[in-house]
Amino acid sequence: MRSTIRALAVLASAASLVAPSIAQTWSNCNPTSRSDCPPNSALGRTVNIDLSSASDSFTAQGNPTYGKDGVSFTVAKSGDSPQLISKWYIMFGKVEISLKAAPGAGIVSSFVLQSDTLDEIDWEWLGADANEVQSNYFGKGQTTTYNRGAFHKDPGNQSGYKKYTIEWTPNQIVWQIDGVTVRTLEPENANGQYPQSPMNVRIGAWSGGDSANSPGTIQWSRGPTDYTKGPFSMKVRSLMVQDYSTGTQYVYGDQTGTWRSIKSVGGTIFSGGNKPVANSPSITAVASGQPLPFTPQQTDTLVRASVYPWVPGTSSQAPQPTFSNYPGLPVGWSVSDSGKVVPPSSAPMSQAASFTPSPAALPSASPGASKPSVIVKFDDKGFSTLVTVYPGTTPAPSVDSLQNNANGPAAPVAAKSAGSKLFDGIYLQVISGILAFFFNQVW
């Protein structure tokens, strides 16, 4: 996943759940922006790898160690991020890993498939919770929607080895824990960002709770990390990888990055016809590690929202841009020089569209009214909607009612008296993500 620093963000699915974790992603040569990238070495077969000793299938970074319990990825001090990166790629396939996640607040264990075009399929474990795991995906490094990440119950992931599976075909991605499907994704549900280019395997651990990280990254990883309670070790016993394509190399036929443009040297792309898994469970919670809306253009070299620090030495020093506005920012809101979103109570408000809510929805305008609250609603697929409720209002509307009103004014504002600075109404922003940028900081 090659990630370290996630840049500024404004809109996230739920301010109370989604941390502004920050990351960088790089690609030595991104075939969607260059036509001279070298081909990817193809696995082209099935391998079973015992990781009690070093394997020539992987390049090691950060000093992983080997023993009878498998390979250990140990974080003992600031800056530690041991990892293994496969030397070969698969073009659709199945990967099973026998893994025990690392404990420790702020410690992140990761098992990832990633391509040179920045397609990505993830499993991630936060050391602060031994009973859950997160799944995620990205397409071409884009972060235009923010409902990708999901939580899954995973009790005992730090106390014993469990089997985690990613099965990836042109028709579906399947995430499994000990053979039980916990999530599926089909191309038609991926908003045009279905991972579909050759990917290698990446395994490792790092400290999201390190004091050198941004506050958002520390919060997302449930840090801070206390190194005096370490060291913290993620362990992997073995790995099974089955490439659903054959050949010796995978070559990009053009710069689209679509799977049908990929050519195999001496083989066939996806010769199988795997039947999709039926009756997959609904997602019940949005993961706090889901991406945030910052997508600069130079994704082939630096900066894309994700969470693992797969970053070569100097790339972490990439300058961060300065924003003066954000997509979807409500009318009258502004951005300070430091990048903080400022509400109209402390910044001049331009004339907004007139809007008068029903009497039942109007808040009390008493001077002693308390601060507004934020309620997160989820539909049956786990997609979140953020609702801002002011003192005196009726209960927050349902997701369906919010969606039905999505074609209304982008930032409705209730009528207010000349001397009042209290917002009367509800700002609803239903776009790629839902309203929020450090909402608790704004207030």
CA distances from 360 to 71, 238, 356, 393, 418 (A): 61, 60, 11, 7, 22
188 tagged catalytic: no
The C-alpha atoms of residue 133 and residue 113 are separated, in whole angstroms, by 16
Paired tokens of 237: 């016993």
The DSSP secondary structure of 153-185, one letter per residue, reads E-TTTTTS-EEEEEEE-SS-EEEEETTEEEEEE
3-class secondary structure per residue, 368-429: CCCCCEEEEEECCCCCEEEEEECCCCCCCCCHHHHHHCCCCCCCCEECCCCCCCCCCCCCCC
Burial 361-393 (b: 16+ CB within 10 A, else e): bbbeeeeeeeebebebbbeeebbbbbbbbbeeb
| Pair type for strands 413-414 and 354-355 | parallel
Asked, as a colleague might, if the bond just before 224 is cis with ω within 30 of 0, I would say yes
Q: Choose among 140, 82, 143: nearest CA to 116.
A: 140
- The residue with tokens 């908003």 is 191
The C-alpha atoms of residue 335 and residue 355 are separated, in whole angstroms, by 24
Q: What is the DSSP letter of 71?
A: E
120 tagged catalytic: yes
For residue 394, how many other CB atoms are within 10 A of its CB? 13
The C-alpha atoms of residue 350 and residue 344 are separated, in whole angstroms, by 9
Paired tokens of 330: 């409500």
Of the listed 96, 120, 167, 188, which one is catalytic? 120
Burial 282-321 (b: 16+ CB within 10 A, else e): ebebbbbbbbbbbeeeebbbbbbbbbbbbbeeebeebeee
Of the listed 96, 124, 186, 188, which one is catalytic? 124
> Could you tell me the sign of the dihedral formed by the alpha carbons of 236, 237, 241, 247, in that order?
positive
Q: What torsion do the CA atoms of 282, 283, 284, 288 make, to the nearest 10 degrees? A: 180
Q: Which residues are catalytic?
A: 120, 124
